[in-house]
Amino acid sequence: MSERFEPNILGLLCSWCAYTGADTAGVSRAQYPANIRIVRVMCSGRIDPIFVARAFEHGADGVLVAGCHPGDCHYVSGNHFAQDRFATFARILDFFGIDERRFRLDWVSGAEGARFATIVSEMTEELRALGPLKMKVS
Amino acid sequence: MSSLIEQQLRERATALLDAGSIDLFLGYRQGSRALRVAPFAARSSSEAERLVWNAVCVPNLAGALHKYADQRVGIALKMCDARSVIELLRFNQVKRENLHVIGVVCHGMADPELVEVGDETPIAWWDPASERPTVGPERLLEKCASCPKPVPDLYDELLGTVVSAPAAVEDARITDVRKLEAMDAPTRRAFWQAQLSNCTLCYACQTVCPLCFCKRCALSLERDDPRRQARDMGSIFTFHMMRAYHLAERCTGCDECERVCPEDIPLSLITEKLELDRGQQ
């Protein structure tokens, strides 16, 4: 039996929507792969692109940043900042040849447990197909 | 042999310093070798006599401005340097009222790196009639060969005269970026892996950048950091990607980073990419 590649995914989730969404996924017993490791932050606007870059540097194969749907941000406009930032950063990642599927910015509301499960499943499947990032040397 | 601009520059610097309207005048002095100049702050009229203006005035003086914060500075700016100063003004890093800008019409600077070792004849390069280097576009700096504009966007007074520019050359850097964009991701990754494997994380690119003005940088690793000593590829990628991100909306493409890079990594590809992306938005 050949060993299947299991990607490491870092999830940076906003406390108010995406993290609650992940919680809802758990409470409603939605099934999703265990490849994701979640870090809860107060707002997607808190997430500096360096978190993503450092995650890749330290061995993540993919990074998911999720926050409230546009217009629903607990802090009014944090997710708009996140969107602007990561639009720029995603282009830079792509230019350096890091596959755009390795980084995903998405919106998940607190009630969308099933959506969260779908996103994580999709991402895991994609990353399994892509293979390891091999950015980490040691 | 000094050029007309050089004489005018010295005169104006002397006049401004003597009148007390500026504390220092920022220009270039002759460097340790014939084809090198160094940024130089003249604080008196006698020091102003050491100012030079020749065909290899390459360094971006905007990068030296932060050292003289809160002093009244006269500064000689080429078009590309003026763009950096405009960005610094936009980010409130310098005060406009502290600046007296002498714009200098520039038809391109010659690249000292392209001269053969031992060939140190700057005078032959200078064409006093048109005041531009008497070299073909292939011996100008890469950024100068395709530069669209001899006159700075920001100045209080202007020196030099515009002569008809030589036929514009296609910017080779844009072509290279397009080529890179056309590759698929793994090929591009391999390209950067090959280029960046030379990076020693010396941070010269960041030190010289006129628009990297943070007092402390979140990206630079300490000298004894194992990731820096081991030249960890992940850390190198992180540094260059984050540098690109931080410069994304401000980089003016002055190419100082590439010029100072001791490993000749094509950093201008990154800055050019940023500029092209900005144009799309």
Question: Using an 8 Å Cβ cutoff, are B254 and B83 in contact?
Answer: yes
The whole-angstrom distance between A59's CA and the closest CA on chain B is 9
Record: contact A137-B277, CB cut-off 8 A: no
Whether residue A95 and residue B188 make contact (CB cut-off 8 A), yes or no, is yes
Q: Does any domain span residue A63?
A: yes
Q: Indicate the residue among B111, B134, B159 that finishes a domain.
A: B159
* Domain assignment present for A2: no
Which of B105, B129, B159 corresponds to the end of one domain? B159
Cross-chain residue pair B188–A96, CB shorter than 8 Å: yes
Q: Is residue B268 part of a domain?
A: yes
Residues B76 and B188 in one domain: no
**Global ipTM:** 0.92
Q: Any CB–CB contact under 8 A between B174 and chain A?
A: no
Q: Nearest CA to CA, how far is A93 from chain B (Å)?
A: 7
Q: Tell me which of A10, A56, A57 to substitute to probe the interface with B (most B C-beta atoms closer than 10 Å).
A: A57
User: Residues 6 or more apart from B75 whose CB is under 8 A from it?
Assistant: B25, B26, B27, B61, B65, B85, B99, B100, B101, B102
pLDDT band for position A17 (cuts 50, 70, 90): very high
Task: Please report the pLDDT score of residue A91 as a whole number.
Answer: 94
Q: How many CB atoms within 10 Å of residue A90?
A: 18
Residue B24 forms part of a structural domain:
yes
Domain with A51 in it: 9-130
Would you give per-residue pLDDT tens digits along chain B (281 residues)? 457 888 899 999 999 999 999 999 999 999 888 788 899 999 999 999 999 988 888 999 999 998 898 899 999 999 999 999 999 999 999 999 999 999 998 888 888 777 655 665 554 455 555 566 666 666 778 888 888 788 899 999 998 888 766 556 677 888 899 999 999 999 999 999 999 999 999 999 999 999 999 888 889 999 899 889 888 999 999 999 999 999 999 999 999 999 999 999 999 999 999 999 987 76
Nearest chain B residue to A101 by CA distance is B185
**A22 contacts A115 by C-beta, under 8 angstroms:** no
Q: Of all helices (H) and strands (E), which one includes residue B237?
A: helix B233-247
Which of B94, B96, B90, B93 lies closest to B249 in space, CA to CA? Answer: B90
Residue type, B193: Q
Is residue B187 within 8 angstroms of chain A, CB to CB? yes
For residue A3, the model assigns a pLDDT of 82
Distinct helix (H) and strand (E) counts, chain B: 11, 8
Q: Could you tell me if residue B164 is inside a domain?
A: no
Whole-angstrom Cα distance, residue A107 to residue A119? 10
Total domain count, chain B: 2
Tell whether B241 is within 8 A of chain A (Cβ). Answer: yes
- Domain membership of residue A18 (yes or no) is yes
Contact B168, B107 (CB under 8 A): no
A-B C-beta contacts closer than 8 Å: 71
Are residue B153 and residue B15 in the same domain, yes or no? yes
Q: Which of B114, B132, B159 is the last residue of a domain?
A: B159
- The residue that leads in pLDDT, B165 or A38, is A38
Tell whether B144 is covered by a domain. Answer: yes
Q: How far A11 CA lies from chain B's nearest CA (Å)?
A: 18
Same domain for B177 and B152, yes or no, is no
Are B106 and B200 found together in one domain? Answer: no
Domain count, chain A: 1
Is residue B216 a part of any domain in this protein?
yes
Closest to A35 measured CA to CA, from A14, A58, A64, A66: A64
A136 found inside a domain: no
CB contact under 8 A, B185 and A95: no
- For residue B250, give its domain range: 172-279
CATH number for the domain spanning A114: value is: 3.40.50.960
* CA B7/CA A125 separation, integer angstroms: 69
B242 contact A CB<8A:
yes
Quote the pLDDT of residue A42. 96
For B219, phi then psi, to 5°, come to -95, -30
Amino acid at the residue A63? V
| Residue B165 domain-assigned (yes or no) | no
Tokens of B131: 């005041």
* Residue numbers in A near B249 (CB within 8 A): 88
Is residue B88 domain-shared with residue B183, that is, in the same domain?
Answer: no
> To the nearest whole angstrom, how far is the Cα of A40 from the nearest Cα of chain B?
22
Contact criterion met (CB < 8 Å) for A54 and B187:
no
To the question of pTM greater than 0.80 for the whole model, the response is: yes
Mean pLDDT across chain A, nearest whole number? Answer: 94
Taking the Cβ of residue A101 and every Cβ of chain B, the question of whether any pair is shorter than 8 Å is answered with no
Q: Which of B43, B82, B46, B79 is nearest to B62 (CA)?
A: B82
**B192 reaches A (C-beta below 8 A):** yes
pLDDT of B1 reads 45
| pLDDT 10s digits, A84-138 | 999 999 999 999 999 999 999 999 999 999 999 999 999 999 999 999 998 876 5
**A84 at interface of B, judged by CB pairs closer than 8 A:** no
* E strand or H helix that includes residue A14: strand A9-14
- DSSP character at residue A43: -
With an 8 Å Cβ cutoff, are B237 and A57 in contact?
yes
Q: How far off is chain B from A49, nearest CA to CA, in Å? A: 8
Nearest CA in chain B to A54: B238
Q: Which of B136, B82, B88, B75 is nearest to B106 (CA)?
A: B82
Give the distance from residue B152's alpha carbon to the nearest chain A alpha carbon, in angstroms: 29
Identify which of B185, B234, B249 has the shortest CB distance to residue A137. Answer: B234
The reply to whether A3 falls in a domain is no
